[in-house]
């Protein structure tokens, strides 16, 4: 009964270098039917055909949700790429065709908030670009705190200062500037919602500070921008398909299963949405959970795995697929 | 088929009627000779020409009179239309969805011209011509949800999506089967379904919610729900119970064929783009038993379905008082012959 993520073709209309590490891609519909609209924080999954390998990476939509037309995504070239971001940076040309899923929003604004405080780290700025376009147009109170490693890594810094004057603050680590999250969460009016996207340490520190300051859990929102981690290769046996599948070092379990021709429902491919939850039928070894979905009790029980990000180390893993 | 609008009422003298065309296209909800709950959701894709599924937003011969009835309900009870303040983006999403669909699929009746944010809407059946600025509620006579749903058949619930749940935070509810927006507003999916018997134990709502939270823009889904109503009355709300509750006592073996109606709701679910909210249109179709049995398959199937209902469902749907009388009346239309699968006429 699950709704399959269907993909539709788009044409790469424009590629703009934003920083030495980030490129912006404008994606246009290939026919007269317009691309589905979306809300700030939504992502699409981009499907790349890299030789015989199909790569699927989620990217936040950075274009304004208020206007019809093309999609924009911003792709950072990963330092240790599993292939997707390097493919986007080095191989994709204007005029190429890619496939994208319909937008899904797993990082929604809470429209009840009296104020929105956005905390971005590095490329974690991307979902906020679309959200700020919406917040600004509707005249809602918001502020962005944007942590960057160095000035050359501050994607969209000038544009943000120009478009949202008075709403943005930058913290450049190479200049010794640091966002004091404890102070930030200590001084917000009642009814504020806090959103954080970026590296895991930033997310953890921000949420921890907010909880310690007594913020209600429902006012805290995070989007982890983690790619599936690499790791030691392993084998998995898919019980229903009767298939033994090899999972390579830089390949996720989900990708290996898909490459073997078995479909698993997914939305985020980042361990957050819960769609790809799969039952573990046999496990002689250790499950390496990297998701944000399973509960501590789930992990202790060892009967479920999120194949989009999690791995296995041991002799035998059997999944209910 | 050319659309001509009936002059009819859904109260007092009840002059509501279905044309032969409206009978043929009635969304008969029983695909087999028995009924039990199921998460019977399917993609809301275009159906056969002339059917209620031909277009995503169905406009039929009852349009003008239904809109007049809605205006009467609202005049007596403005709280049938409510929106919490954070739902304004969703209100505009809904206005865009309905105006775009109606203008595209019924161009002889509706027209929409968009020049950036400046929109021009023409509704010929209701004689309206409105220029407004999309996103600026002050340029409309009332808030956008109320404006557009005074011109769209069916009830509309706007559901906010947050914290892994759906919240009934706005709606226009005037043609309901005995539930109240004023009571439910602000409730989440499990809270407003609290009174439904059996389904909770079956885990229906957990599965349905999970499914709905995955809805994508541009891929709406639908299901049919049903009950029965004495007299062709759209407004069977708790607020108005004193005016319709006693109708059940008015049924006799002689008038039940004319007075008792199968009431079918075409419920659809749409992800709205900019708010990420979900709109839940609940479109009500009514058909008298007399009209229903003109389709022989339906005449055979309805009594079999009514007989198969568990008592809890009979009570929940309010059929307790008259189920036996209805079965007696319907018996003569069931010759025992086999029926074909699916709800459509043979």
Q: Give the pLDDT confidence score for residue A1 in this predicted structure.
A: 35
The answer to whether B66 and B73 are in contact (CB under 8 A) is: no
Q: H or E segment at B229?
A: strand B221-230
Do A35 and A12 share a structural domain? yes
Q: How far is A290 from chain B (nearest CA, A)?
A: 21
Candidates B217, B220, B221: best to mutate against A (most CBs of A within 10 A) is B217
The 8-class DSSP code of residue A150 comes to S
Do A249 and A217 share a structural domain? no
**Structural domain of A48:** 7-104
Do A220 and A125 share a structural domain? yes
The answer to whether the Cβ–Cβ distance between A38 and B211 falls below 8 Å is no
CB pairs under 8 A between A and B: 62
- Cβ of B39 under 8 Å from any chain A Cβ? yes
Do A183 and A96 share a structural domain? no
The answer to whether A25 and A12 are in contact (CB under 8 A) is: yes
Looking at the 3D structure of chain A, how many domains does it have? 3
Mean pLDDT, all residues of chain A = 92
Half-sphere exposure in the Cβ direction for A42 (13 Å, CA): 28
- The residue out of A71, A104, A137 marking a domain boundary is A104
CA B26/CA B20 separation, integer angstroms: 10
* ipTM surpassing 0.90: no
Work out the average pLDDT over B64-76.
98
Q: Give the pLDDT confidence score for residue B334 in this predicted structure.
A: 94
The answer to whether the Cβ–Cβ distance between A1 and B39 falls below 8 Å is yes
Q: List pLDDT tens digits, range A132-178.
A: 999 999 999 999 999 999 998 899 999 999 999 999 999 999 999 99
- The two tokens of residue B157 are 């619930």
**Chain A residues touching B162 at Cβ < 8 A:** 108, 110, 112, 218
Burial category of A34 from C-beta neighbours within 10 Å (exposed 0-12, middle 13-18, buried 19 and up)? exposed
Q: Domain of A23: which CATH number?
A: 2.40.30.10
**Domain ranges (residues) in chain B:** 20-85+150-331
Does A6 score more than 70 pLDDT? no
- The residue out of A79, A104, A129 marking a domain boundary is A104
Do A77 and A45 share a structural domain? yes
Do A183 and A159 share a structural domain? yes
Residue A314 lies in a domain: yes
- Which chain A residue has the Cα nearest residue B274? A39
Distance of CA B54 to the CA centre of its chain: 16
- The residue out of A188, A204, A224 marking a domain boundary is A224
Q: How far is B185 from chain A (nearest CA, A)?
A: 15
Do A247 and A219 share a structural domain? no
Do A240 and A207 share a structural domain? no
Residue A2 lies in a domain: no
Q: How far is A79 from chain B (nearest CA, A)?
A: 33
Q: List pLDDT tens digits, range B266-292.
A: 999 999 999 999 999 999 999 999 999
Do A126 and A68 share a structural domain? no
Residue A109 lies in a domain: no
Q: CA of A307: how far to CAs of A4, A262, A287, B10, B61, in Å? A: 17, 12, 11, 55, 52
Q: Domain of A147: which CATH number?
A: 3.40.50.80
Q: Which residues pair with A22 in a beta bridge?
A: A76
- Cβ of A93 under 8 Å from any chain B Cβ? no
**Chain B residues touching A219 at Cβ < 8 A:** none
Do A186 and A140 share a structural domain? yes
pLDDT interval class at B39 (50, 70, 90): low
Name, in order, each residue with C-beta under 8 angstroms of A310's C-beta and a sequence gap of 6 or more.
A253, A271, A287, A288, A289, A290, A291
Q: H or E segment at B146?
A: helix B144-149
Residue A110 lies in a domain: no
Among residues B68, B223, B307, B323, the one annotated as catalytic is: B223
Q: List pLDDT tens digits, range A172-224.
A: 999 999 999 999 999 899 999 999 999 999 999 999 999 999 999 999 999 87
Do A96 and A29 share a structural domain? yes
Q: Is B75 a catalytic residue?
A: no
Do A139 and A96 share a structural domain? no
Work out the average pLDDT over A52-73.
91
């Amino acid at each position: 009964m699950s709704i399959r993520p269907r993909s539709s073709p788009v044409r790469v209309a424009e590629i703009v270098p934003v920083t030495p590490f980030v490129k912006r891609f404008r994606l246009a519909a290939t026919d007269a039917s317009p691309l589905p609209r979306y809300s700030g924080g939504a992502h699409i999954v981009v499907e790349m055909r890299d030789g015989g390998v199909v790569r699927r990476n989620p990217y936040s939509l950075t274009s304004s949700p208020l206007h019809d037309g093309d999609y924009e995504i911003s792709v950072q070239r990963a330092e240790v790429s599993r292939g997707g971001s390097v493919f986007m940076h080095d191989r994709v040309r204007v005029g190429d065709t890619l496939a994208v899923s319909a937008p899904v929003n797993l990082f929604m604004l809470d429209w009840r908030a009296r104020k929105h405080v956005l905390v971005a780290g590095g490329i974690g700025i991307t979902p906020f670009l679309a959200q700020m376009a919406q917040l600004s147009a509707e005249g809602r109170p918001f502020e962005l705190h944007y942590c960057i490693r160095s000035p050359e890594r501050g994607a969209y810094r000038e544009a943000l200062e120009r478009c949202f004057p008075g709403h943005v603050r930058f913290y450049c680590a190479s200049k010794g500037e640091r966002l004091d999250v404890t102070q930030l969460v200590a001084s917000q009016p009642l009814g504020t919602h806090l959103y954080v996207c970026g590296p895991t340490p930033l997310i953890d520190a921000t949420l921890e500070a907010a909880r310690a300051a007594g913020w209600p859990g429902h006012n805290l929102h995070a989007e982890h921008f983690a790619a599936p981690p690499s790791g030691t290769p392993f084998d998995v046996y898919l019980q229903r398909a009767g298939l033994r599948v090899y999972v390579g070092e830089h390949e996720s379990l989900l990708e290996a299963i898909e490459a073997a021709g078995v479909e698993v429902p997914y939305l985020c491919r980042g361990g957050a949405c819960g769609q790809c939850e799969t039952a573990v039928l046999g496990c002689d070894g250790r499950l390496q959970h990297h998701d944000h979905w399973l509960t501590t009790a789930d992990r202790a029980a060892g009967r479920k795995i999120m194949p989009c990000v999690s791995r296995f180390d041991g002799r035998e893993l059997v999944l209910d697929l | 088929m050319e659309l001509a609008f009936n002059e009819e009422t859904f109260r007092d003298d009840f002059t509501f009627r279905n044309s032969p065309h409206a009978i043929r296209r009635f969304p008969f909800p029983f695909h087999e000779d028995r009924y039990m709950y199921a998460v019977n959701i399917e993609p809301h894709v275009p159906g056969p020409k002339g059917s209620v599924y031909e277009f995503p937003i169905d406009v039929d011969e009852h349009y003008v009179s239904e809109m007049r009835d809605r205006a009467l309900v609202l005049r007596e009870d403005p709280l049938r239309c409510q929106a919490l303040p954070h739902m304004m983006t969703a209100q505009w999403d809904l206005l865009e969805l309905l105006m775009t669909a109606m203008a595209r699929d019924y161009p002889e009746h509706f027209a929409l011209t968009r020049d950036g944010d400046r929109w021009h809407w023409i509704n010929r059946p209701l004689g309206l011509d409105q220029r407004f600025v999309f996103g600026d509620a002050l340029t409309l006579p009332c808030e956008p949800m109320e404006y557009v749903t005074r011109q769209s058949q069916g009830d509309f619930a706007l559901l906010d999506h947050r914290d892994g749940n759906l919240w009934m935070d706005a709606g226009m509810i005037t043609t309901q089967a005995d539930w109240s927006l004023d009571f439910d507003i602000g409730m989440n999916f499990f809270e407003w379904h609290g009174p439904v018997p059996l389904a909770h134990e079956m885990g229906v709502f957990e599965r349905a919610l999970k499914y709905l939270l995955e809805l994508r823009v541009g891929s709406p889904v639908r299901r049919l729900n049903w009950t029965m109503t004495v007299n062709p009355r759209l407004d069977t709300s708790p607020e108005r119970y004193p005016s319709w509750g006693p109708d059940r006592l008015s049924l006799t073996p002689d008038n039940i064929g004319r007075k008792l109606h199968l009431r079918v709701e075409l419920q659809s679910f749409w992800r709205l783009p900019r708010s990420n909210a979900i709109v839940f249109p609940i479109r009500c179709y009514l058909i008298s038993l007399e009209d229903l049995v003109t389709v022989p398959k339906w005449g055979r199937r309805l009594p079999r379905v009514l007989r198969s209902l568990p008592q809890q469902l009979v009570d929940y749907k309010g059929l307790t008082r008259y189920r036996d009388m209805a079965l007696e009346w319907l018996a003569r239309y069931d010759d025992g012959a086999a029926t074909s699968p699916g709800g459509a006429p043979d």
